[in-house]
Amino acid sequence: QKEVEQNSGPLSVPEGAIASLNCTYSDRGSQSFFWYRQYSGKSPELIMSIYSNGDKEDGRFTAQLNKASQYVSLLIRDSQPSDSATYLCAVAAGKSTFGDGTTLTVKP
């Protein structure tokens, strides 16, 4: 079992819809959770950090954390074609461990 699991996708949603990206992790001692966006051919970019259970909103992005279920998700509201990218979940108990990423395509 991988330490951080993500659905590889591809996930395809129409423009304007909500995209839901999910991530599960195995280390119950994890304290910090991150979402990165990586466009093709580019390096990852940090878009959200979350540390406590519940929701954290930043613009069109909402991160949700449930430590009891060892689950973290990212919701993208009003998805735009420019959101098309690979989204990496990272979980840290000290050092960060990255998932393999979910590729999102937003179709106009």
Partner 1 sequence: GAVVSQHPSRVICKSGTSVKIECRSLDFQATTMFWYRQFPKKSLMLMATSNEGSKATYEQGVEKDKFLINHASLTLSTLTVTSAHPEDSSFYICSAQRAGAGGGNEQFFGPGTRLTVL
Report the interface residues with partner 1, using CB under 8 A. 31-34, 36, 42-46, 49-52, 88, 90, 92, 95-96, 98-101
Residue (17 or 71) nearer to partner 1, CB? 71
Pairing of strands 102-107, 11-14: parallel
Tell the smallest beta-carbon distance from residue 99 to partner 1 (Å): 8
Residue (16 or 94) nearer to partner 1, CB? 94
